[in-house]
Structure 1
Amino acid sequence: MTARLPRPARLRPADLLRLGLLGPRTRRLRSALSALGIALGIAAVVAVTGISASNQAHLLDRLDRLGSNLITVSPGEDFEGKKVPLPKESVTMLGNIAPVERVSATGNTKANVYRNEFVPSNQTNSLRVLSARLDLLKAVRGEVRTGRWLDHATERLPVVVLGSSSAERLGVTAPGTKVWIAGEGLTGEWYGVLGILEPNELVPEIDDSVLVGGPTAIASLDGDRTPSTVYLRVHPDRVSDVQDVAAATANPAQPGMVAVSRPSDLLKARAETDDTLTGLVLSLAGVALLVGGVGIANTMVVGVMERRGEVGLRRALGARRGQIAAQFLIEAVLLGLFGGLVGAALGAATVYAYATGQGWPATVPLVWAVAGPAVAVVVGTVAGLYPALRAAGMSPTGALRSA
């Protein structure tokens, strides 16, 4: 009767884990470099999505504060490309639309602004001098950085309020400074700076303007009596309805010659552009993940070749093919998991550092923070599959002979 050899003992999960840690512990530098490729890929994914999400959160916060229910109405162009002025009654007519909560307007003047009377007349810095109604700041939800806004006492005086960009270009940092306002056919005059505005993302044309009171603009600066831009603050649920009737209400005789826009759409377009750029960078992060996976596969293949003696000895002592394959596969998975965790932490730290520096709310998408290490494990598994099968396919005698 022939004696049967005992079946090889099954390795417990804890034993397999210890065997899987054997390779990374003995080849620390090579294992660290392999995991680094995965870590960089995951860090890129988390950082790009996190910075994009933080930027969008900042934009949405600005939209919430500025309000996405602002509509602008301005003169359109005729068939010859010439501007068709709005009727001077257009502000009142637009204000009579039921969902309109607040309406205000600016008007053009013939004046230009200069830092002093010695600046050549053609060097205007692309700044406009506009007449402004007293309720303009409330309509556009603007804020005064320093100084104060126009009121009934100052709208008839030679004073101006500067937008943020116009103050920077003129080199004015505080109220009380004087600027020179002149123009063709106008007598130049010094105007005192009453206030400086904060930047307004929804109404950037205000940032590049110098604002004077309506009575002063008409009396001294040859200002238009018709509005150049009308700003409507409407009920948030009725924005589309007001957009549909704004042109016909502003100029019933020529509704096709009226331009109606919603400034917040520009900010939303910026957010969509960020999404497109995010997709591009994510593809680059995918390449980094692929490179990291190739690095892990290379490390595992080289490890199999260097450890043929170990594999042959274990096979000669009764280790099964599945146990050998599991050992090398666990090594690859551990490298991927380690790289994924390090990459997620590095990406999150990058997001928080960048967002804090920009003054944004730091936002790390939970789905990527969790999915990053999971993706790294999948990459490590795929990368280690072939080397694991190759190690398992070695014969004991062949492995010992080549060792």
Structure 2
Amino acid sequence: MSRPGNRYDPRDLVAETLIGLLTRPLRSALTTLGTVLGITTLVITLGVAATAADQITTRFDAMTATTVSVTAPAPAAGSTDLPLLDWDGPEQVTRLAGVTAAAALAEAPAGHDLPVRASALDDPARAGASIPVVAATTGLPGAVRGTVTAGRFFDAGMVARHDRVAVLGDQAAALLGIRDLGEAPAVFVDGQPFTVIGILGGIGREQFLAATVILPPTTAHDRLGFGPPGRVLITTALGAAAQVAGQAPVALAPGRSAALTVVAPPSLERARKGVAGDTDALFLILGLVSLVVGAVGIANVTLVTVVERTGEIGLRRALGAARRHIAYQFLLESTGVGLVGGVVGASLGMLGVVAVSAAHRWTPVLDLRLALAAPVAGALVGLAAGVYPAVRAARREPVDALRAGV
């Protein structure tokens, strides 16, 4: 013959749980609010952290992840070896897949101080200064992400004709007092005149070029004794930098590529994971603290409910409910509160991430796994919070419970 407790129908357990929650709707709502706040905070913090990390790495991608620089060592004094880089190098590099722009760059020979003036005379009324002078190929604006703000940049024809022309960086133009190119102003480099045909501004890479005088390589060689380029600047498509960094030295100096120094951006994936990991760890702690607060709230309210329902517990025990059935009922009630709080909190959290992203004009990063895991997390929090009250309720003896409930 089976014991009365074994005849307890599970459907009765579910019904009693629903009655226990619905007969005190305000208390149940307030209890659920703690979990809602905890889950909402957790979802928002993780979502905003992921969105912020994506925004940071996107900016990192746009600014630095597409730049490659190849540098040749300075030749030894008296060396007769052929230079590692030449002015035709950018043409070789631009044939590589993923390269969007390339330019070769040479600075003035070491120890040569080239005075630059806007007038042939040493006139205090006219601007004059010691400004760096560089030689570059025609692809320099694209390679440094610059824009010609006035006039034009020299082209292949000017380079081939050895034209005595110059382009000024915007800071150099301001220092020399040159603003209007309509009258074809000239600058005098080491006493030799060069017609200013353009001003280069908005330089996003190699920003020292904003304060330089830029000459065609042939003209710089003929007039000022410039040698071969010391660097090749390369701009790539997003994601192609690592591949180009491996191929560019071979294209520039076949057989001697090991002598070149290549500077390439770090791995995007590593940077993205690092930023995301740091922000996630910071915000995860805040979210977990809120969740713990919600769990404590559920435990306290459930424990108060056990005390208030002592008579009910004694009556149910007298009618055949076993200790485990009493424990199951309170565990189900606390788990149900946590589950509802998780669902509501996940929904509010997702809306919060979208709102924060819209306010900052970011693209929200919403992880569906987080949305699905939040209700489960809420239920587990409710289950854990209800363990102690459920054990307290199950340990009440029927006679004591009935006497206390009278």
Structures share fold, TM-score greater than 0.5:
yes
Answer yes or no: is the 8 Å Cα contact 2:187–2:196 preserved in 1. no
Answer yes or no: is the 8 Å Cα contact 1:129–1:210 preserved in 2. no
Which string of whole-angstrom CA distances, capped at 9 and with x for unpartnered residues, describes residues 299-320 of structure 1? Answer: 3233323432343344445555
CA 1:12–1:330: 2 relative to 1, 3 Å: closer
Answer yes or no: is the 8 Å Cα contact 1:132–1:212 preserved in 2. no
Map of 2:140 onto structure 1? 136
Map of 1:32 onto structure 2? 33
Which string of whole-angstrom CA distances, capped at 9 and with x for unpartnered residues, describes residues 291-343 of structure 1? Answer: 43344333323332343234334444555544433332233223322332343
Which string of whole-angstrom CA distances, capped at 9 and with x for unpartnered residues, describes residues 3-39 of structure 1? Answer: x999556517455333334455335445523543343
Structure 2 counterpart of 1:276, which letter?
Answer: G
Distance across 2 between alignment mates of 1:392 and 1:5 = 13
Structure 1 counterpart of 2:362, which letter?
Answer: W
Distance across 2 between alignment mates of 1:221 and 1:294 = 81
Map of 2:119 onto structure 1? none
Distance across 1 between alignment mates of 2:195 and 2:305 = 82
Map of 1:305 onto structure 2? 307
Map of 1:339 onto structure 2? 341
CA 1:24–1:233: 2 relative to 1, 3 Å: same
Q: Which has the larger radius of gyration?
A: 2
* Partner residue of 1:364 out of 363, 366, 376: 366
Structure 2 unmatched runs, 5+: 77-81, 117-124
* Partner residue of 2:88 out of 81, 89, 92: 92
* Partner residue of 1:381 out of 371, 380, 383: 383
CA 1:337–1:272: 2 relative to 1, 3 Å: same
Offset, 1:268: 4.4
Map of 2:232 onto structure 1? 230
Distance across 1 between alignment mates of 2:15 and 2:203 = 63
Map of 2:168 onto structure 1? 160
Q: Secondary structure at 1:104's aligned position in 2?
A: strand
Q: Secondary structure at 1:105's aligned position in 2?
A: strand
Distance across 1 between alignment mates of 2:51 and 2:228 = 47
Structure 1 counterpart of 2:88, which letter?
Answer: T
CA 1:19–1:5: 2 relative to 1, 3 Å: closer
Map of 2:105 onto structure 1? 106
RMSD, aligned α-carbons? 5.3
Which string of whole-angstrom CA distances, capped at 9 and with x for unpartnered residues, describes residues 201-236 of structure 1? Answer: xxx434874565433993999695443431346799
Offset, 1:182: 9.9
Answer yes or no: is the 8 Å Cα contact 2:146–2:202 preserved in 1. yes
Which string of whole-angstrom CA distances, capped at 9 and with x for unpartnered residues, describes residues 102-156 of structure 1? Answer: 532233356899xxx999989x9xxx8755432234456x374966862439996
Distance across 2 between alignment mates of 1:341 and 1:5 = 34
CA 1:392–1:182: 2 relative to 1, 3 Å: farther
Offset, 1:75: 3.9
Identical aligned pairs, as a percentage? 27
TM-score under structure 1 length normalisation: 0.66
Structure 2 counterpart of 1:150, which letter?
Answer: F
Q: Secondary structure at 1:272's aligned position in 2?
A: helix
Offset, 1:274: 0.9
CA 1:51–1:304: 2 relative to 1, 3 Å: farther
Q: Secondary structure at 1:363's aligned position in 2?
A: coil
Structure 2 counterpart of 1:133, which letter?
Answer: T
Map of 2:264 onto structure 1? 262
Distance across 1 between alignment mates of 2:237 and 2:93 = 11
How many aligned positions are there? Answer: 371
Map of 1:399 onto structure 2? 401
Map of 1:41 onto structure 2? 42
Of stretches 189-198 and 25-34 in structure 1, the one that deviates more from structure 2 is 189-198
Distance across 1 between alignment mates of 2:105 and 2:19 = 75
Q: Secondary structure at 1:46's aligned position in 2?
A: helix
TM-score under structure 2 length normalisation: 0.66
Offset, 1:394: 1.8
